[in-house]
Amino acid sequence: MSNELSRNVKDAVLQSAVALSNGADTTYTAGFDLGSGAAKLAPCELELSIPALTATHMPTGTTLSVAVQDSADDSSYTTLFTYPLRTSASGLAADATRTGIPTDARQYVRYAVTLADAAGTVGDCRLVDVTAALVF
């Protein structure tokens, strides 16, 4: 659900770029501190930008999944929800995903991006950065 009050403004400090994994694994963006109680950030959205992945990175049949997670202490995270699984057909097109942060989310939120397959053919994606940002 998008935030009807969003002005599409990003703060350079509230962005996290991380490299994907070498092979099948999960990569985590930095946790964003939403504050707590009366100091909690104004309504905002969490955005993830994923660049195009070639057939070398993601051969046919490999999958990419994205989960939004929250935490009270920035160390022990729980999945709030996941996006539909994307299956490669000789790579994946670039994509950006944006979601409103649930009002009951705990103080920290982050993305978990998982590359997987049964045959062990996920390529080396360490030169591919995904970028997470808070959008106000």
pLDDT, tens only, 3-16? 455 567 788 888 99
Domains within the chain, CATH numbers bracketed: 10-135 (2.60.120.1110)
- What value does the mean pLDDT of the chain take? 89
- What is the per-residue pLDDT across 69-111, written as a single tens digit (0 to 9) for each? 999 999 999 999 999 889 999 999 999 999 988 888 999 999 9
* HSE-CB for 89 with a 13 A CA cutoff: 0
Q: What pLDDT shows up at residue 38?
A: 62
Q: For a pLDDT cut of 70, what percent of the chain falls above it?
A: 93
Task: Name the β-bridge partners of 135.
Answer: 10, 45
Separation between Cα atoms, residue 97 and residue 95, nearest integer Å? 7
CA distances, 56 to each of 78, 92, 117, 134 (Å) = 31, 11, 14, 31
CA distances, 134 to each of 31, 33, 63, 98 (Å) = 11, 10, 25, 9
Measured in whole angstroms, how far is the alpha carbon of residue 77 from the centre of its chain? 14
Q: What pLDDT shows up at residue 9?
A: 78
Separation between Cα atoms, residue 67 and residue 136, nearest integer Å? 21
